[in-house]
């Protein structure tokens, strides 16, 4: 796994593959010589555009599968979905056999994949802790911010991230950067570091810095901010304050951390002034554009991976559409990776996505761009 701190630089290097380049050759004068666009310098082997050879490893269906992360029950389930469909990621949840959190078992599953396989988990600490029985428990984010300095939290996260990596886990869906004063046991509550966006930014930044250092993927969530939402997206629709009211509070940590090397998870949030009625952010083109371009909330553009929140077990989505419809809608909207909690529907989802590409609803070049974006995040060699 390539250290995630350098991925932004890799992404920048790879993004220019379609542009003419100037090649430096030994001339005896120390000066560069320019080659015609599309041809190598004399004596230089021709190279494929960045990512071409990587994409060529996959069928169209397998490319689409690279954009899926699915919850698994155990080793047999993981083995089956990776070997038969080549999904890009598996998710270890509270229902997963804890025996799978073993490097030898996970390495055996990873060996079945054509490309680096993401092994993902929710390990925030506090009440959202899927590995606490293996690597030990830690307090909630809110308690951490009240009892530790950000430097202490950084040091503790280094140790904890190494422990997750030693188990074979590659991506942790943390930290939550929601800004919240909700009661501890509410949907966000003590999962938030603070109701002060600067405190949230400081502690989440410390987490990301540590994860980057050890090469564990991090994911900031839940864009554009769940902390002031009206309810729990696990049980129904959630409405946030209008986008204008999120600017100086909920969106601040995203604005500050969007180019930190972390990926971003988009929540199932109805946002007045941003999303259309009954189109939560996780399947909203407007929300994806806001995140990608950054101009609507004063942030730099974001070219890292966009994950959805769970599309299969949260009523904010499941009360509105089927899993196949939701996955299609999220990718068409601009997400790079659709997450849900079981493998049962993977064949049906891929059937629908293939039809979506064939009809032009989901452009094939957009699929390729997402596959490469995920590849860079996973540290896959792209020949750039």
Q: What is the pLDDT of residue 47?
A: 54
Q: Which residues of 203-219 are buried (b: 16+ CB within 10 A; e: fewer)?
A: bbbbbbbbbbbbbbbbb
Q: Is 309 a catalytic residue?
A: yes
Q: Is 184 a catalytic residue?
A: no
Report domain extents, the chain.
Answer: 4-13+59-378
Q: What is the pLDDT of residue 234?
A: 87
Q: Which DSSP helix (H) or strand (E) runs through 285?
A: helix 285-293
pLDDT, tens digit, 9 for 90 and up, residues 78-99:
999 999 999 999 999 999 999 9
Question: Is 121:129 a contact under the CB 8 Å cutoff?
Answer: no
Question: Dihedral of CA 355/356/359/364: which sign?
Answer: negative
- Active site residue: 102, 232, 234, 351, which one? 234
Asked whether the predicted pLDDT for residue 7 surpasses 90, the reply is no
pTM of the model: 0.88
Res. 383 pLDDT band, cuts 50 70 90: confident
Question: The domain at 4-13+59-378 falls in which architecture?
Answer: Alpha-Beta Barrel (3.20)
pLDDT, tens digit, 9 for 90 and up, residues 321-356:
999 999 999 999 999 999 999 999 999 999 999 999
Helix or strand or coil: residue 89? strand
Res. 49 pLDDT band, cuts 50 70 90: confident
**What CA–CA distance (Å, rounded) separates 142 from 193?**
4
Query: What percentage of residues in the chain have a pLDDT greater than 70?
Result: 88
Res. 15 pLDDT band, cuts 50 70 90: very low
Average pLDDT rounded to a whole number, residues 165-188: 96
Provide the mean pLDDT of the chain: 89
pLDDT, tens digit, 9 for 90 and up, residues 181-233:
999 999 999 999 999 999 999 999 999 999 999 999 999 999 999 999 987 88
Q: Is 304 exposed, middle or buried (0-12, 13-18, 19+ CB in 10 A)?
A: buried
Res. 38 pLDDT band, cuts 50 70 90: very low
- Active site residue: 270, 309, 310, 336, which one? 309
pLDDT, tens digit, 9 for 90 and up, residues 17-28:
333 333 322 222
Q: What is the pLDDT of residue 48?
A: 67
Average pLDDT rounded to a whole number, residues 277-304: 97
Give the angle subtended at the CA of 310 by the CAs of 308 and 314, to the nearest 5°. Answer: 130
Q: Which residues of 53-72 are buried (b: 16+ CB within 10 A; e: fewer)?
A: ebbeebeebbbbbbbbbbbb
Distance set, CA 312 to CA 27, 105, 192 (Å) = 60, 26, 24
Q: What is the pLDDT of residue 238?
A: 92
Helices 323-333 and 285-293: angle between axes, nearest 10 degrees = 40
């Amino acid at each position: 796994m390539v250290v995630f701190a350098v991925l932004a630089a890799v992404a920048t290097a790879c993004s220019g593959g379609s542009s003419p380049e100037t090649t430096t050759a030994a001339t005896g004068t120390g000066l560069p010589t320019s080659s015609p666009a599309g041809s190598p310098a004399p004596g230089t082997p021709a190279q494929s555009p960045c990512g071409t050879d990587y994409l060529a490893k996959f069928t169209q269906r397998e490319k689409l599968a690279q954009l899926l992360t699915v919850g698994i029950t155990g080793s047999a389930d993981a083995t089956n979905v990776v070997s038969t469909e080549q999904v890009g990621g598996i998710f270890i949840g509270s229902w997963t056999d804890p025996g799978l959190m073993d490097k030898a078992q996970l390495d055996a599953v990873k060996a079945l994949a054509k490309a680096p396989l993401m092994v993902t988990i929710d390990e925030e600490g506090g009440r959202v802790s899927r590995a606490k029985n293996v690597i030990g428990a830690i307090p909630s984010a809110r308690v951490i911010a009240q009892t530790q300095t950000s430097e202490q939290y950084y040091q503790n996260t280094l140790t904890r991230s190494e422990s997750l990596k030693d188990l074979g886990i590659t991506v942790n869906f943390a930290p939550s950067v929601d800004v919240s004063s909700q009661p501890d046991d509410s949907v966000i509550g003590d999962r938030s570091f603070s109701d002060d966006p600067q405190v949230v930014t400081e502690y989440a930044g410390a987490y990301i810095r540590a994860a980057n250092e050890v090469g564990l993927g991090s994911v900031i969530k839940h864009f554009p901010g769940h902390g002031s939402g009206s309810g729990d997206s696990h049980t129904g629709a959630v409405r946030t304050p209008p986008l204008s009211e999120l600017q100086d509070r909920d969106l601040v940590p995203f604005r500050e951390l969007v180019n930190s090397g972390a990926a971003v998870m988009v929540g199932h949030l109805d946002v007045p002034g941003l999303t259309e009625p009954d189109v939560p952010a996780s399947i909203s083109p407007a929300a994806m554009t806001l995140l990608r371009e950054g101009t609507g909330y004063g942030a730099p553009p974001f070219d890292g991976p966009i994950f959805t929140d769970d599309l299969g077990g949260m009523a904010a989505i499941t009360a509105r559409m089927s899993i196949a419809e939701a996955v299609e809608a999220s990718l068409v909207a601009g997400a790079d990776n659709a997450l849900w909690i079981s493998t049962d529907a993977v064949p049906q989802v891929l059937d629908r996505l293939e039809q979506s590409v064939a009809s032009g609803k989901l452009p094939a070049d957009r699929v390729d761009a997402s596959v490469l974006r995920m590849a860079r995040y996973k540290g896959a060699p792209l020949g750039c």
